[in-house]
């Protein structure tokens, strides 16, 4: 049985999706969260296999929310509903921790196929997105092969940027980093932007991966 949590700020959409998905014999809707607090409470109280979340949530970045979910529900697969099939957007969600996506133009059958495939450890993507993911993996391989001791220092990161990078490596959100360092969220965003630029990476997930690879090599 696939235990599925729906996350959508519109209650009607949650109810409609729940009604459709529960027609499947092997899908159980364990909750329908219309707020971040509800989603986190459900995750803490029941076992969840898949989290199906909308791209528009609670006035905050869905990317940040996906990253947060990977921390609080590491065993659950995260599917993002309503994306456009632009390479950059899909890659950002995957790098944030999403296992898959459903585009705005997808049919109910395609939604069901994606849920079933994800549960069985498979990914359904277009050839273009698959190629982009392979390219990104190649980039990671290149990053690893080129790593040298001291590369972080050579990038010229400030002590505060190093603090932020360390917390990025723990999959913390901007708000969590701000709370930990007692600074404003806007300041965190500025530091993250500077870190990405100095390390020549495209996302916070890449920066965290970069740090993990360096730490692994210097052990």
Instruction: Report which of 57, 109, 50, 55 is spatially closest to residue 80, judged by C-alpha positions.
Output: 55
Residues 219 and 217: their CA atoms lie apart, in Å, by 6
Please tell me whether residue 82 adopts helix, strand or coil conformation: strand
Q: Are residues 105 and 199 in the same domain?
A: no
Which one, of 92, 88, 69, lies nearest residue 173 by Cα? 69
Residue 167 covered by a domain: yes
DSSP-assigned beta bridge partners for residue 5: 31, 51
Considering its fold, how many domains does the chain have in total? 2
175/180 Cα distance (integer angstroms): 9
**CATH number of residue 71's parent domain:** 3.40.50.2300
138 occurs within a structural domain: no
Q: Which of the two residues, 199 and 11, has the higher pLDDT score?
A: 11
Model's pTM, two decimal places?
A: 0.63
Is residue 201 within 8 Å of 210, Cβ to Cβ?
yes
What pLDDT was estimated at residue 149? 44
Distance CA 185, CA 131 (A): 35
**Hey, what's the torsion of the CAs at 99, 165, 139, 127, to 10 degrees?**
20
DSSP per-residue codes, 98-111:
-SEEEETT--HHHH
Percent helix, strand, coil in the chain (nearest 5)? 60, 15, 30
Domain boundary (100, 128, 156) is at: 128
The pLDDT of residue 140 is 56
Mean pLDDT (whole number) for 72-83: 89
Checking if the pLDDT of 154 tops 70, the result is no
The radius of gyration of the chain from alpha carbons, rounded to an integer in Å, stands at 18
Residue 141 within a domain: no
Please tell me whether residue 30 adopts helix, strand or coil conformation.
strand
- Domain limits for position 152: 146-218
CATH value at residue 188: 1.10.10.10
Specify if 134 maps to a domain: no
| Tens digit of each residue's pLDDT (9 = 90 or more) over 15-69 | 999 999 999 999 999 999 998 899 999 999 999 999 999 887 766 678 888 888 8
**Do 82 and 110 belong to one domain?**
yes
């Amino acid at each position: 049985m696939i235990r599925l949590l729906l996350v959508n700020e519109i209650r009607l959409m949650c109810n409609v999706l729940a009604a459709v998905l529960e027609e499947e014999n092997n899908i159980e809707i364990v909750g329908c969260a219309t707020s971040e607090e509800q989603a986190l409470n459900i995750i803490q109280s029941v076992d969840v296999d898949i989290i199906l979340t909308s791209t528009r949530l609670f006035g905050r970045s869905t990317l940040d929310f996906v990253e947060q979910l990977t921390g609080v529900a590491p065993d659950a697969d995260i599917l993002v509903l309503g994306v456009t099939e632009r390479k950059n957007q899909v890659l950002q969600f995957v790098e944030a921790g999403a296992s898959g996506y459903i585009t705005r133009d997808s049919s109910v059958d395609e939604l069901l196929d994606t849920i079933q495939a994800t549960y069985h450890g498979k990914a359904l993507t277009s050839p273009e997105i698959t190629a982009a993911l392979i390219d990104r993996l190649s980039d990671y391989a290149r990053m690893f092969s080129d790593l040298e001791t001291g590369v972080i220092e050579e990038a010229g990161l400030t002590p505060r940027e190093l603090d932020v990078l360390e917390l990025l490596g723990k999959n913390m959100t901007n708000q969590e980093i701000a709370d930990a360092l007692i600074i404003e969220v806007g300041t965190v965003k500025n530091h993250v932007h500077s870190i990405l630029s100095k390390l020549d990476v495209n996302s916070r997930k890449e920066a965290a991966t970069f740090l993990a690879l360096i730490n692994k090599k210097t052990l």
